[in-house]
Amino acid sequence: MAKEKLKFAFYWAASCGGCEIAVLDIDEKILDVIAIADIVFWPVAMDIKYKDVEAFPDKYIDVCFFNGAIRTEEQEYMAKLLRKKSKVLVAFGSCAYQGGIPGLANVANKKEVFERAYLQSPSTNNPNSVTPKTSFKVPEGELKLPEFFDTVKTLDQTVDVDYYLPGCPPASDQVAKAVEAVAKNELPPKGSVLAPEKSVCDECPRKKEEKKISKIHRVYEIVPDPEKCLLEQGIICMGPATRGGCGALCIKANMPCTGCGGPCSNEVEQGAAMISALSSILGVDEEKNPDYDAEKLIAQIQDILGTFYKYSLPASLLRRKVIKE
């Protein structure tokens, strides 16, 4: 008797769709996926509706790849529903794993987001200060929208997660490897991150000379030497604090790593790890200089939060900005 096909589901929450593209970017291997698995839910590509998913028996889906952070009531509902319907739930991509770039919204709350988008935008004409409502009466009846939360959460701050696949979006060969591990029933222990242990630095082809720096440069200020480590040229590169698996693609395009792979396996959090890495090379040679001024050195780093926590604010120890009303 032929082996029964696996059942896969793909879903997106607060995300950009780049993770769906990462699935398609496995190119012709997608035909192999279809050979071993039926895709039972995938809104970007298939006409299966929420009511169909609600009707699935519990644990009907073998593996659900869930991308996006949790920002609205609908996304929270779908996370809980898909958890119930799936044997294995994978947090797919930076947003589900660490909060991702939409997680930067934790510098604000719902009120501030709404004010900026609906009241203060220079192209918006809104004399009556209308903002969208979770329930609104139109002449024909009632229209509902899901609640928009104050705080962005990761998937595992919402439901129990089995595996994590980092990257914004995950590299296509990491996606293919994860699918292969599922197909061969060779998944690692629950809670594992499905990516290499090494850092982006370990994958970077540039030469490192263990040089200390005293000056930080913005990327548009200098044309860096294409052979040498960007950090040693004074450009903040998140490579030392970021999990690899991408092949250092941004660095190969002469731009610094911005940290989408999330923390390395031995780090508590990515931002702190990078601050620690930076403090071991920034201004170290000047410490004995009588004019040494640590504050001045550090003041060169603009936008600490956006630089060190670009993809990981909700998962970090900081979580969010405290806003007192």
Partner 1 sequence: MKTITIEPITRLEGHGKISIFLNEEGNVENAYFQVPELRGFERFCEGRKAEDLPIITPRICGVCPVAHHYASTKALDAAFNVEPPSAAKKLRELMYSGYIIYDHILHFYFLGAPDFVVGPDAPPAERNILGVIKKVGLDIAKEVIKHRAYGQKMTAILGGKATHPSCGLPGGISKGLTEEERQEIEKMAESSVEFAKFSLKLFDDVVLKNKKYVDMILSDPYTLKTYYMGLVDQNNKVNFYDGKVRVVDPQGKEFVKFTPSEYLDVIEERVEDWTYVKLTYLKKVGWKGLVDGSASGVYRVGPLGRLNASEGMATPLAQQEYERMYETLGGKPVHSTLAFHWARLIELLYAAERAVELSIDEEITSKDLRNDVGNPGEGVGIVEAARGTLIHHYQLDEDALIKRVNLVVATTNNSSAICMSVRDAARGLIHGGEVSQGILNMVEMAFRAYDPCLACATHFAIGQMPLEVKIYDYNEKLLKVVKR
Per CB under 8 A, the list member of 43, 88, 187, 275 interacting with partner 1 is: 43
The rounded distance, in Å, linking the Cα atoms of 11 and 317 is 27
CA-wise closest residue to 317 among 268, 281, 276: 268
Contact region for partner 1 (CB under 8 A) — 140-148, 181-189, 273-281, 286-294? 140-148
* SS3 state of residue 18: helix
For residue 152, which amino acid is it? V
Instruction: Pick out residues in 169-208 that bind partner 1 (CB under 8 A).
Output: 169
Q: Which is nearer to partner 1, 140 or 186 (CB)?
A: 140
- In this structure, the strands spanning 61-67 and 6-12 are parallel
C-alpha–C-alpha distance, residues 64 and 274, integer Å: 32
Rounded Cα–Cα distance for residues 14 and 96 (Å): 8
Q: Which is nearer to partner 1, 19 or 179 (CB)?
A: 19
SS3 137: strand
139, 184, 189, 324: residue in contact with partner 1 (rule CB under 8 A): 139
Nearest CA-CA partner of 6 in 194, 187, 190, 183: 183
Site for partner 1 in 201-260 (CB under 8 A): 218-220, 223, 246, 249-250, 252-255, 258
Work out whether 324 is an interface residue with partner 1 (CB under 8 A).
Answer: no
- The footprint of partner 1 on this chain (CB under 8 A) covers a number of residues equal to 83
Residue in 5, 17, 191, 198 binding partner 1, rule: CB under 8 A: 17
Residue choice 81, 113, 183, 187 for contact with partner 1 (CB under 8 A): 113
Q: Which of 3, 4, 57, 140 binds partner 1 (CB under 8 A)?
A: 140
Q: Which residue, 100 or 239, has its beta carbon nearer to partner 1?
A: 100
- How far is residue 282's CA from residue 295's CA, in Å, rounded to a whole number? 12
Residue numbers 72-111 binding partner 1 by CB under 8 A: 72, 74-75, 100-102, 104-105, 107-108
Q: What is the dihedral of CA 13, 19, 20, 24, to 10 degrees?
A: -170
Q: Is 325 among the residues that bind partner 1 (CB under 8 A)?
A: no
22 sits near partner 1 (criterion: CB under 8 A): yes
